[in-house]
Homo-oligomer: A and B are copies of this chain.
């Protein structure tokens, strides 16, 4: 361990018992002012810092909490973790993080982690519900984030279905009829929700399976995967008019594939993303913004309340998303009609719903 100077040394030097040192340091009223001053002076001089392990053991608390997520790649999780860290630190707890990376030993790692915190936020597809139950049994508080409600746990989500329906309606209104979902609904609960909303809206709009195959074009979450997935589907003669992508990275890859295929965006092909990451703005990507930072922050606060022993009833919140329209979609012109010969994305074409200012 680190700390060389212990409470015993302070006690000896200050001529008191370790109990008094402990009390003085934690501001107990059971210490006379002069004694407290003396102890504090000695502690300061010796640069004493109580051993965290000793305290944890004696108090039965860790003063720490964790967040578990599938991966840290891409801006989404970073933002969530940032929001989390900020609040937890403010609340006086240390912050542990763990990315499961879809590893087979994820469960073991999470269980291990659960042994050093008072509570943890569990995101998306990281560990199974059995693991949650097991952890909760040991007395660790739990909050679910971007993961469907389960057991007696609080949960925080965004309204993926609703957002996706709005997105599809917008595309429909712009004249797009042959849509295609790009992304793997099995990859995360969020994508599953987006896909569900997509299918719902497409059904509601009465689009035939011939126009819009319900089957998603599955791919992982990165730009490269989006590129390849899009390229595969854009080769067909009956290619889609709009690609509804699982997130912004995939969409950005799709955009690039469109460019490579010589397709004019948005005239011949619309592409939409999800999250509204920073690059989405510069890629002029229509997307659905979700309050990433706030997700993490809210989870942190709820967890804190749980650790403090909050209400017995699980809370569930579903945050709204916001459609952000940029020039990767727009009034659709049938690919049979005339199109401008060069690939140009007009920088001024579309007044975004919410995309102004330099920030």
Contact = CB atoms under 8 A, between A and B. Distances in A.
Interface stretch (A25-33, A97-105, A169-177): A97-105
A103 to B, nearest CB: 9
Interface of A: 1-4, 47, 49-54, 56-57, 59-62, 64, 72-73, 75, 78, 81-82, 85-86, 89, 94-99, 101, 109, 111-118, 134, 137-140, 222-224, 226-228, 252-253, 256-257, 259-260, 277-279, 281-283, 343, 347, 357-359
Contact of A278 (B4, B49, B56, B75): B75
Specify how many copies of this chain sit in the oligomer.
2
A24 B82 CA distance: 41
Given A2-B115, A138-B3, A278-B279, A223 B358 contact: yes
> Which 6 residue pairs spanning A and B have beta carbons closest together?
A227-B358, A78-B78, A282-B282, A53-B56, A1-B60, A72-B82
29 contacts: A1-B60, A2-B114, A2-B140, A3-B115, A4-B137, A49-B112, A49-B115, A49-B138, A50-B115, A51-B115, A52-B116, A53-B116, A54-B57, A73-B82, A75-B278, A78-B78, A78-B81, A81-B97, A89-B109, A94-B112, A95-B96, A96-B96, A223-B358, A224-B358, A227-B359, A253-B358, A256-B358, A257-B358, A343-B347
Contacts of A1: 56-57, 59-62, 139
A52 B115 contact: yes
Given A94-B116, A101-B86, A277-B278, A139 B4 contact: yes
Given A3-B115, A359-B222, A62 B72 contact: no
Nearest to A118: B2
